[in-house]
Amino acid sequence: MDHTDHTTWLEIDLNVIRKNIHLLQEITGVPIMAVVKANAYGHGLIETSKAAVQAGVQWLGVARIDEALELHRAGIQAHPIVLGYTPPERAGEAAQAGIRLAVYDSQVAQAYADQARSVGKPLYVHAKFDTGMGRLGASPEGGVEWMRWLNSLAGLQVEGVFTHLAEADDPQKPTTDWQLNRFDALLSGLESAGLRPTWVHAANSAGALYFPRARYNLVRTGIAIYGLNPSARAPLPEGFRPALTWKTRLTSVKIFPPNHGISYNYRYYTRAEERIGVCAVGYADGFRRRLGNVVLIRGKKVPVVGSVCMDQCMVNLDDIPEAEMGDEVVLIGQQGENEITAEERAREWETISYEVVCELANRLPRIYID
Ligand X SMILES: Cc1ncc(COP(=O)(O)O)c(C=O)c1O
- Contacts with ligand X by CB under 6 A lie at 35, 61, 83, 164, 204-205, 220-224, 230
CB of 279 to ligand X, least distance (A): 29
What 3-state class would DSSP assign to 113? helix
Q: How far apart are the first and last CA of the chain?
A: 13
> CA 34, 59, 179: angle at the middle one, nearest 5?
70
The residue among 246 and 354 lying less far from ligand X, judged by its C-beta, is: 354
Q: For 97, what's the count of Cα atoms within 13 Å in the CB-facing half-sphere?
A: 26
Q: How far is CA 363 from the centre of its chain?
A: 18
Pick the closest to residue 19 from 60, 62, 59, 51 (CA basis): 51
The residue among 40 and 296 lying less far from ligand X, judged by its C-beta, is: 40
Are 101 and 94 spatial neighbours (Cβ–Cβ below 8 Å)? yes
Alpha-carbon distance of 275 to 253, in angstroms, equals 7
CB of 46 to ligand X, least distance (A): 19
Residue type, 60: L
CB of 163 to ligand X, least distance (A): 9
**For the chain, where are the alpha helices, taking DSSP H only?**
14-28, 37-41, 45-54, 65-73, 91-97, 106-119, 143-152, 175-192, 205-210, 342-348, 353-358
CB of 90 to ligand X, least distance (A): 19
The residue among 165 and 262 lying less far from ligand X, judged by its C-beta, is: 165
Alpha-carbon distance of 80 to 35, in angstroms, equals 10
CB of 13 to ligand X, least distance (A): 19
Distances (CA, A) of 154 to 90, 149, 150: 18, 10, 9
Q: Give the catalytic positions in this structure.
A: 37, 264
The residue among 61 and 88 lying less far from ligand X, judged by its C-beta, is: 61
Residue nearest to ligand X according to CB distances in the complex: 222
CB of 241 to ligand X, least distance (A): 16
The residue among 162 and 287 lying less far from ligand X, judged by its C-beta, is: 162
Are 108 and 125 spatial neighbours (Cβ–Cβ below 8 Å)? no
**Rg from Cα positions in the chain:** 24
> CA 39, 44, 47: angle at the middle one, nearest 5?
130
Pick the closest to residue 242 from 349, 351, 361, 346 (CA basis): 346
The residue among 83 and 329 lying less far from ligand X, judged by its C-beta, is: 83
Pick the closest to residue 279 from 263, 266, 299 (CA basis): 263
The residue among 234 and 304 lying less far from ligand X, judged by its C-beta, is: 234
The residue among 205 and 307 lying less far from ligand X, judged by its C-beta, is: 205
CB of 133 to ligand X, least distance (A): 8
Give DSSP secondary structure letters for 40-78: HHTT-HHHHHHHHHHTT--EEEESSHHHHHHHHHTT-SS
